[in-house]
């Protein structure tokens, strides 16, 4: 029996080249409902190397829609378990597993891939991964779902619209709130915010949350508990989990929809790897409506001013601002315009403090500053145009 006999049926497809797959490396961010299906498909098809990243752990509720996990896997890291299962499915495929946030991997891992598959459940990580793909000039296939609806977008860096091109309309409202604007907040503000959501929390509990730098609804939803576990006692961690479960009820998900979305993504991946031999990959947004058995194509245009993929991306973005204002005020403005909840300002090789006044630290008209954020892979270059 030859190694190729495993792939006999797909070798019969006109234009198919198994050697292309065997020599390819693919990165999959998130191995949940969609990502697990994508990884399983690629392993069965014989892609040479799969790199998985997911810092989550297997839960009982995953088992109805995530094929790679079993009851005995509950509590284990998803990436490691998925890698073990994929090696069982196809021992001829090499699988790397990273049980950590994708932002911690960086270019040394992602730079080795031929395609990046984004199967993430939050917009913040998707924005970051999109910026990585554009920066490294790697094709990105992004998929998501909600109940009986799913969508797929393909990004060819600087050729098609990237995720950031449409981000201003898709970023959740609470993410647009700048962390820096919250430094003036007090625990009672958080108490009132939660009350608006029908949740009652005492002032003392809010003060404990503030000590962990959890000052907003957004912080409660997205702060990684493993990052603050050493600073918080079990009681406050339990409180955060309870608040999170009430503020973020699990998104509805159906296995059949995940399978369809993953199937579309995998097929597009095959087209990309074969570079035209299996047809031209689609552009724009593919929307799947399972209840009406309908697939729709939505045209998406590139934003000529996109901070990630515009043609003049290498040139600093001009930004009008009063140089007599503080760095904190600048952060607030940047957060409002770009939807960065955590901007940091760098100038002349150092990170500026919130209380610094731009003019007093030497920033002059048309000087270039850099803005770093967890939403972008590389700092954003901005040319400050004085409005004073």
Q: Could you please report the per-residue DSSP string of 239-251?
A: HHHHHHHHHSPPP
140 phi, psi to nearest 5 deg: -120, 130
Question: Is 119 a known active-site residue?
Answer: no
* Measured CA distances, 185 to 191, 192, 246, 371 (Å): 11, 11, 23, 23
Point out the catalytic residue in the list 119, 162, 165, 180: 180
Neighbour tally for 110: CB within 10 Å:
21
Q: Is 298 helix (H, G, I), strand (E, B) or coil?
A: strand
Determine contact, residues 118/141, Cβ cutoff 8 Å. yes
Fill in the DSSP letter of residue 316.
P
β-strands 115-118, 25-29: how paired?
Answer: parallel
Instruction: Name the nearest CA neighbour of 4 among 15, 14, 272, 17.
Output: 17
Q: Which two tokens stand for residue 86?
A: 């994929």
**Catalytic center residues:** 180
């Amino acid at each position: 029996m030859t190694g190729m006999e495993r792939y006999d049926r797909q070798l019969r497809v006109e234009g198919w080249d198994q050697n292309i797959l065997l020599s390819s490396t693919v990165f999959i961010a998130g191995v949940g409902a969609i990502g697990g299906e994508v990884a399983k498909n690629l392993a069965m098809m014989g892609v040479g190397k799969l790199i998985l990243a997911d810092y989550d752990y297997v839960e009982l509720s995953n088992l109805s829609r995530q094929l790679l996990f079993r009851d005995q896997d509950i509590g284990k890291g998803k990436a490691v378990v998925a890698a073990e299962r994929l090696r069982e499915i196809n021992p001829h495929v090499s699988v790397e597993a990273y049980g950590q946030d994708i932002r911690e991997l960086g270019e040394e891992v992602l730079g080795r891939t031929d395609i990046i598959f984004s199967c993430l459940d939050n917009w913040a990580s998707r924005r970051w991964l999109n910026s990585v793909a554009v920066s490294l000039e790697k094709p990105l296939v992004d998929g998501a779902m909600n109940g009986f609806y799913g969508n797929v977008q393909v990004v060819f860096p600087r050729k098609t619209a990237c995720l950031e091109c449409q981000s201003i309309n898709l970023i959740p409202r609470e993410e647009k709130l700048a962390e820096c604007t919250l430094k003036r907040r007090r625990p009672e503000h958080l108490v009132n915010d939660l009350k608006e959501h029908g949740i009652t929390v005492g002032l003392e509990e809010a003060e404990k949350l503030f000590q962990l730098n959890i000052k907003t609804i957004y912080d409660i939803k997205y702060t990684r508990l493993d990052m603050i576990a050493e600073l918080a006692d079990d009681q406050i961690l339990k409180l955060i989990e309870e608040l999170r479960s009430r503020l973020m009820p699990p998104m509805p998900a159906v296995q059949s929809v995940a399978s369809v979305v993953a199937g579309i993504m995998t097929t597009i991946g095959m087209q990309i790897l074969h570079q035209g031999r299996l047809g031209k990959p689609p552009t724009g947004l593919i929307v799947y409506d399972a209840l009406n058995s309908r697939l729709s194509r939505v045209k998406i245009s590139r934003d000529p001013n996109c901070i990630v993929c515009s043609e003049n991306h290498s040139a600093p973005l001009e930004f009008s601002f009063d140089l007599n204002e503080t760095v904190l005020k600048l952060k607030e403005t940047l957060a409002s315009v770009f939807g960065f909840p955590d901007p940091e300002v760098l100038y002349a090789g150092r990170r500026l403090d919130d209380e610094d006044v731009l003019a007093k630290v030497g920033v002059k008209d048309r000087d270039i500053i850099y803005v770093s954020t967890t939403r972008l892979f590389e700092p954003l270059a901005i040319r400050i145009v004085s409005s004073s």
